Structure 1
Amino acid sequence: MKFLRLLLVLVTFPIFAQQGGMWIPSMLKGMNESEMQSLGMKMTAEDIYDVNKSSLKDAIVHFDGGCTAEVISPKGLLLTNHHCGYGEIQSHSTVEHDYLQDGFWAKDMASELPNPGMVVTFIVSIHDVTNTVLEGVASLNTEADKQKRIQENINRVQTTFPKETWQENKIKTFYEGNQYILFVTETYKDIRLVGAPPSSIGKFGSDTDNWVWPRHTGDFSMFRIYAGKDNKPAEYSKDNVPYTPKHFLPVSLDGISEGDFTMVFGFPGRTQEYLPSFAVEQIVNTLNPAKIEIRDNALKVQDGFMRKDQAIKIQYASKYASVANYWKKWIGESQGLKKSNAIQLKKDFEAEFQKRIAQKGKSAEYGNILADFEKNYKAINEYTLARDYFIEVVLRNTELLSVGFKLYQLEQVYKTKGEQAFDDRKTNTINSLQGFYKDFNVNVDEKVFEKLITLYGQKSPLIPEEFKTMNYEKTTADIYKSSKLTSYEGVKSLFKGDAAANFKALNKDKGYVLVKKLAENYFNNIAPTYDRINLEIGALQRNYMKAQLDLFPDGRFFPDANSTLRITYGQVKGYSPNDAVYYQPVTHLEGVMEKYIPGDYEFDVPSKLLDLIKNKDYGQYAENGKMPVCFIATNHTTGGNSGSPAIDAHGNLIGLNFDRVWEGTMSDIHYDPEICRNIMVDIRYVLFVIDKYADASHLIDEMKLVHPKK
């Protein structure tokens, strides 16, 4: 279609250098390739993405749907972040064998630990299918009808597009629905834990240092892909063999210097770079403060219990880290958006946008976009806030309520699809809850429940009437004293007999009754209006994106992140977060000792690492007698890039992406090249820990170590 051709020309036009961006690897020819080479890259676009021969993309996997990992040996050895493998490390841990505290290293392949349900996905090829997906859409009148037709077309193309029997087709939308791309994928299902440092290395600094520079965290863990004897995906079997990759990343021992080219390759989760000012104002002034307050309350309760009880610390370690991650990110994001004056910059852009509409005679097409945005964001405000309260309190941060909601969904299955469908879903749901209750502590959850249900009743709009006068302390005590949802045995007891008996028992349970009231209120009084207005906002956003591409032909427009394979490139570079303050781009083990607090769960240091530091026993991994730990660069990253490889100018592994600096966490909404930096573990520190600390040199022997600078 004509617009798509225009779009592809615009986004590959060479305009501004080093301004961020998350680019589709199959579309690097032109502006991106030239710019990357001007920054020092020695590769071609084909070295990064090629369908006909092995290329860098064949070493990159979507790790368990949420992170990124890379293949670093010819035997399918995977490297990702410690926090990406945290749940699996925890699941193998007990009080007697605490791999979170002590680390884990398989001495041979037979000792590697299976992880049921874990998967990694490779991208085989990438195809633009925009014309086919948008076929017959323009003639439809309503946004709902358009979205229905688009989904029908997506389903048809995904089903019919050529692929091998073990592969899948997945279509994703780009540029707010102005472009659609199909990914042919391969998913491997036998992934085993190979090694992980103790949390005192892999999570050094914990939540205090999260999103902060300077950083001294060895945030890595290692897994291995196993395949059938034909090297194709296979369910777990003791007969499976290590996967033989099409490509694996050589590992550079030469380190980095300020100004070096860096590329991060991975699966960034979600960005919103092209929102109007009205949306950013809502995020900064309404939504983020509410979510921060909810999580702050939950975290304080959990932390209080975890500091006093080792068993609870193990149970809640992964959950706490997950909740704290975005709590701190939202705080930094709001501060960054205010400091960088993002709202005013958006308004300034919108003033220029309106001016260009008039200049180019486009009022009929685009003239009402901003006014309609303002109207719709005002209309949706309390519904969006109520939705966030429901998600944060009921679905994410109160475990009894989240279990109750799953059971509520079972009741809806019974009502809409009948008893057979209910029976099938019931078995799966009850079985899945067994693992959930392994890491559930009723005393912790009761205190979280009391805090959050009070916040919900006092601050959320559109709440059920009885919540306005509820005694939250008494309600909490009554539920946790009598509800069957406080234990796995209790939940199972509710599902004895047939469906009628199940729901009779469920609807007498005080915990379930409360969840049901909250859910019905959400689906009856919040979701319908939110969904209707949000659909209109989505249509406006699509047209706004089209208008920006049309009216700003010299602009630099990269597609927002959507968990698809992307590359981002930049250079190793320090930054100045405040007046008279400058951060160097590299940290060393001396900084670990400066932060060291014996016995502290965030800043303790293992005794063996202390000895290695004292003796400066760094092997071949040091530089000028010092052991590098982390470094920063100007790559534009987000959630999902955790575990992404940092790649040098020649295509070698130099580091492992794991975080961003706090001053730049607003980069999901507004990228500022002056202060936005991604944080990476130096690969030499990873090798040092494996070799000198863990005595796992057999893993080093698998890798291809290179000296590209020499």
Structure 2
Amino acid sequence: MKKLTALSLATVLTAGPALADEGMWTFDAFPAARMKASYGWAPDQAWLDTVRAAAVRLTGGCSASFVSTEGLILTNHHCIAQCAADLSSKDKDYLADGFVAADRAREMKCPGQQAEVVTAISDVTPRVTAAIKGLGGEALTKARDAAIAGIEAAGCTDKATTRCQVVTLFGGGQYKLYTYRKYSDVRLVWAPEFAAAFFGGDPDNFNFPRYNLDASFLRAYENGKPVATPRHLTWNPRGPVAGEATFVVGNPGRTQRLLTLDQQEFQREVLLPLQTTLLSEFRGRLIAAGMDDAERKREAADTLFGIENSYKVYWGQARALDDNAFAKRLADNEALLKAKAGRKFGDPWADIAKADVDYRNIALDYYFLEQRAGMFSGLYGYARALVRAAAEREKPNAARLPGYTDSQLPLLEKQLTDATPTYPWLEKMALSFWLSKTREYLTADAPQVKALLGRDSPEALAKRLVDGTKLADPKVRERLFAGGMAAIRASDDPLIRFVLKNDAAARAVRQQYAQKVDAPVTAAQAKLAQARFAAFGAANYPDATFTLRISYGKVMGWNERGRPVPFETTVAGLYERATGQEPFVIAKGYAAAKSQLDLSVPFDFVTTNDIIGGNSGSPVIAKDGSVIGAAFDGNIHSLGGNFGYDPSLNRTVVVSTAAVQQALEKVYPAPALVRELAAR
């Protein structure tokens, strides 16, 4: 795999202008001239406005799109897996068995889910940079956060229907205010069986050929009625055409293509080994827990899916940074930018290098006590959010921690108070894992570890906290949130008391990070952004930030070790690939419907579009503006896409609308949905 990564990344130009088909572009800076030079055509502003209005961001970390006039949303199955799991019970497993709402009345609300559509993007860079001018250390981060909170509050006075978010681009070189129309009532409409959506399981993840029906439908509601969405994408149930232009419109989560060499070394030496080790170990515990217990296997299924996916992502990133050819390329790119910049912008690389040294000294404390405190425990997450929300709401909006400002509290309240199932055995495993790893990495002698554990073992403490807490009850969480700090202080809930006791230490290391790392890096990255703009002009695009982007590319396979990989698979290949053993077991629906299916229908296909995690569920749009698929993965080469892009090898993996249409008609019949998509 190392050799594949080397080939994949050999042509990356991280510090230079974007390559052909490279780029996750903001809608207010789409490179129409560059695309026209390559493809002979580029979309006009009306085309861009239409697809932007149809694009949806889901708060679970996915993308989606409106595909009818009545709020129907196309996304991936793995983007609704948490919803299906939350709605399931011992007697009915919607994740495993799938779900088809016979009518609107039976569409089921997804706990914690919110759909958001961008309505405006405005540049607020001058306002933020003026607020932080001349400042350093903690004063800089406080002034920046205060300015952002004020801009968001002023931009969205109607908190019930709008959400405002100031997005940092180019590491602090630009700040943009994104205004969203939000829909807090999102319901599940249709989902296939898990075995159909994730055929091939973890072995096939980030690989191709694929045979995955990774698609589902949701619907946005308001005041108990489906939302009217006249600006939507036209459903086009056809297969892809080799070489045709395609667009992916969605919300890529995060890339790190603008990191300096020092920052990349920190990733390679510290963060990535830590993350892959922890994920690998917890993955093993989950698998072992479900081996002889079917109910525990069901309850942990969505958690395991997420952990396996994350592990593979970080593993791929680590392999990319370990590659010698890639490392040399990155060094050459940084040298090129330094040469072009000269001393005009100072020495931001040295400033970042110093901050990196400070970061290494506090990295483990910051990771275990603040950044990933509680790790995989949902109950701990509730407790900390309730404690911090109460404390922060006693402060002026501009003085609060990010995540607890007026613009962000409505979504937090929804996620805290929506009913979702919790499983005590899983919570105990997650909480004890975090406590034991904190003790292991920080050592038993660390004051913070002694404060966390006292004289308890991680397992005994986790058991006492989970058995004693009432936070699994959404009504309890609702009362605590509504009651503010008075209710928190009066609570005898052991998890609330535990967080109250230890939150000061977490806040202290957060403050250290803000002063020693965040502030100097923010200032340095702003200078780096100026250097890039001066050197390469408009041929730059910002790193991904889980905000709306558009990429362009084409339907195209690639060559793998001297062999061509075709651009599409067909339904016939699903049956040929099946072994009868997990994870290559044909889903029951496909087994029963085989004789009725057109086996030549395209199933999945690949394009050269530049995407990353968070793009899951993004519509894949043809030149005419119609949707012909939903992006659900990348190939193995795309794992290095966090740091760079190679058009010859990086591929987006898409489920075809033709396969979804056939499934809607013959495998998991949904006649009303078929009529709606056809606008009949």
Partner residue of 1:557 out of 540, 556, 565: 540
Alignment of 1:692-707 (within 5 A): 692-704=666-678
The alignment status of 1:660 with 2:634, answered yes or no, reads: yes
State the Cα distance separating 1:570 from its structure 2 match.
0.8
- Confirm or deny: 8 A CA contact 1:61 1:68 kept in the other structure: yes
Q: Which amino acid aligns with 1:222?
A: F
Give the superposition deviation at 1:301.
Answer: 1.1
Query: Residue in 1 aligned with 2:554?
Result: 571
2:662 to 688, 692, 697: 688
Aligned equivalents of 2:506 and 2:484: distance in 1?
A: 28
Amino acid in structure 2 at the alignment position of 1:675: L
| CA drift at 1:408 | 5.7
Counterpart for residue 589 of structure 2 = 608
User: Partners in 1 of 2:171 and 2:321 — Cα distance?
Assistant: 22
Write the letter of the residue equivalent to 1:479. L
The answer (yes or no) to whether the contact 2:252–2:546 under 8 Å persists in 1 is: yes
1:500-531 deviations in Å (ceiling 9; x for gaps): 99869859x6x778766764443335652464
Cα gap change, 1:591 to 1:545, in 2 (>3 Å): same
Deviation sequence 1:233-282 (CA, Å, 0-9, x none): x34x3xx2x32223221223442133221100012222221100111111
Alpha carbons 2:261, 2:331 under 8 Å: kept: yes
Alignment check: 8 A CA contact 1:57 1:123 kept: yes
Shift of residue 201, structure 1, vs aligned partner = 1.0
Measure the CA separation in 1 of the matches of 2:641 and 2:461.
Answer: 42
Aligned residue for 1:560, secondary structure, equals coil
Which runs of structure 2 are paired with 1:113-512 in the superposition (5 Å)? 113-135=108-130, 138=133, 140-142=134-136, 144-145=138-139, 147-160=141-154, 166-226=161-221, 234-235=222-223, 237=224, 240=225, 242-339=226-323, 341-358=325-342, 363=343, 365-390=344-369, 394-398=373-377, 401-402=380-381, 405-406=384-385, 409=388, 432=416, 435=419, 438-442=421-425, 444-460=426-442, 464-465=446-447, 467=449, 475-480=457-462, 482-483=464-465, 485=467, 488=470
The residue matched to 2:356 in structure 1 has which SS?
A: helix
Q: For 2:328 and 2:41, how far apart are their aligned partners in 1?
A: 39
SS at match of 1:488: coil
Matched, 1:580 2:562: yes
Measured in 2, the distance between the counterparts of 1:67 and 1:529 equals 29
Q: Deviations over 1:180-201 (max 9, x none)?
A: 3233321123322111001011
Q: Distance in 2 between matches of 1:221 and 1:399?
A: 25
Q: Given the superposition, is the C-alpha separation of residues 677 and 499 from structure 1 closer, same or farther in structure 2, using an over 3 Å criterion?
A: closer
SS of residue matched to 1:298: helix
Give the deviation of 1:89 after TM superposition.
1.3
- Where relative contact order (Cα < 8 A, 6+ residues apart) is larger, the structure is 2
Q: CA, structure 1 residues 641+43, in 2 after alignment: closer, same or farther (shift >3 Å)?
A: same
* 2:531 aligned counterpart, secondary structure: helix
Q: How far, CA to CA, are the matches of 1:402 and 1:157 in structure 2?
A: 28
- Secondary structure at the counterpart of residue 366 of structure 1: coil
State the partner residue of 1:99: 94
Distance in 1, matches of 2:463 and 2:313, equals 36
Report if aligned partners of 2:366, 2:509 keep a CA contact under 8 Å in 1. no
Match of 1:10 in 2: none
Residue type matched to 1:388 in 2?
Answer: Y
User: Any conservation in 2 of the 1:297–1:451 contact (CA below 8 Å)?
Assistant: no
Change (3 A) 1:551 1:480: closer
2:54 corresponds to which residue? 59
Paired residue secondary structure (1:539): helix
The amino acid across from 1:454 in the alignment is S
Q: Does the residue aligned with 1:640 lie in a helix, a strand or coil?
A: coil
Kindly provide the CA deviation profile for residues 293-342 of structure 1, in whole angstroms up to 9, marking residues without a partner as x.
11111111112222332322332222222233212210111113334743
Tell me the SS of whatever aligns to 1:524. helix
2:593 matches 1:598: no
Does the C-alpha gap of structure 1 residues 470 and 637 become closer, same or farther in structure 2, counting only changes over 3 Å?
closer
Alignment identity in percent? 23
Structure 1, 288-297 or 181-190: larger mean CA deviation: 181-190
Contact 1:464 1:521 in 2 (8 A): no
Structure 1: tracts of 5 or more residues without a match: 1-13, 227-233, 418-424, 620-624
Cα separation, 2, equivalents of 1:167 and 1:415: 23
Distance in 1, matches of 2:597 and 2:199, equals 19
The two structures have a TM-score, normalised by structure 1, of: 0.80
Whether contact under 8 Å (1:124, 1:184) holds in the other structure is: yes
C-alpha distance in 2, partners of 1:149/1:558? Answer: 26
Describe the SS at the equivalent of 1:532: helix
The C-alpha deviation readout for 1:158-178, integer Å capped at 9, x for no partner, is: 455599895454432322222
Residues 612/564 of structure 1: CA separation in 2 closer, same or farther (3 Å cut): same
1:598-634 deviations in whole A, cap 9, x for unaligned? 363x332223312433x3x335xxxxx5232211111
Write out per-residue CA displacement over residues 522-571 of structure 1, whole angstroms, 9 at most, x where no aligned residue: 33356524643221112111111211222345x83101222221101111
CA gap of 1:704–1:401, structure 2 versus 1, over 3 A, is: closer
1:87 to 82, 90, 94: 82
Does the CA-based 8 Å contact 1:393-1:456 persist in structure 2? no
Matched, 1:679 2:662: no
What do the CA deviations read for 1:347-382 (whole angstroms, capped 9, x no partner)?
212222333344xxxx2x334222222222122113
Report the Cα distance in structure 2 between the residues aligned to 1:145 and 1:493, rounded to whole angstroms: 37
1:398 deviates by 4.2
Give the structure 2 partner of residue 9 of structure 1: none
Q: Determine which structure has more spread, i.e. the larger CA radius of gyration.
A: 1
Aligned mates of 2:386, 2:660 — CA distance in 1? 44
Q: Displacement of 1:116 after TM fit?
A: 5.0
Partners of 1:660 and 1:247 in 2: how far apart? 28
Q: 1:39 to 1:105 in 2, by over 3 A?
A: farther
Distance (Å, rounded) in 2 between the aligned partners of 1:160 and 1:557? 30
Among 514, 525, 550, which residue is 1:541 paired with?
A: 525
AA aligned to 2:43 is: T
TM-score of the pair, normalised by structure 2: 0.84
SS at 2:649's partner residue?
A: coil
Amino acid at match of 1:694: Y
Moved more, 249-258 or 652-661: 249-258
Change (3 A) 1:35 1:704: farther
* Cα separation, 1, equivalents of 2:621 and 2:487: 59
Q: What's the secondary structure of 1:49's corresponding residue?
A: helix
Residue 63 of structure 2 corresponds to residue 68 of structure 1:
yes
Q: State how many pairs are aligned.
A: 646
Offset, 1:450: 4.8
Q: Which residue of 1 aligns with 2:25?
A: 23
Retained in 1: the 8 A contact 2:17–2:540? no
Matches of 1:434 and 1:25 in 2, distance apart? 33
Amino acid at match of 1:70: S
- Distance in 1 of aligned mates of 2:452 and 2:384: 21
Q: Partner of 1:173: helix, strand, or coil? A: strand
Q: CA–CA distance in 1 between the matches of 2:543 and 2:361?
A: 26
Q: Matched residues in 2 for 1:57 and 1:490: separation?
A: 38
What CA RMSD, in Å, does the superposition of the two structures yield over aligned residues? 3.9
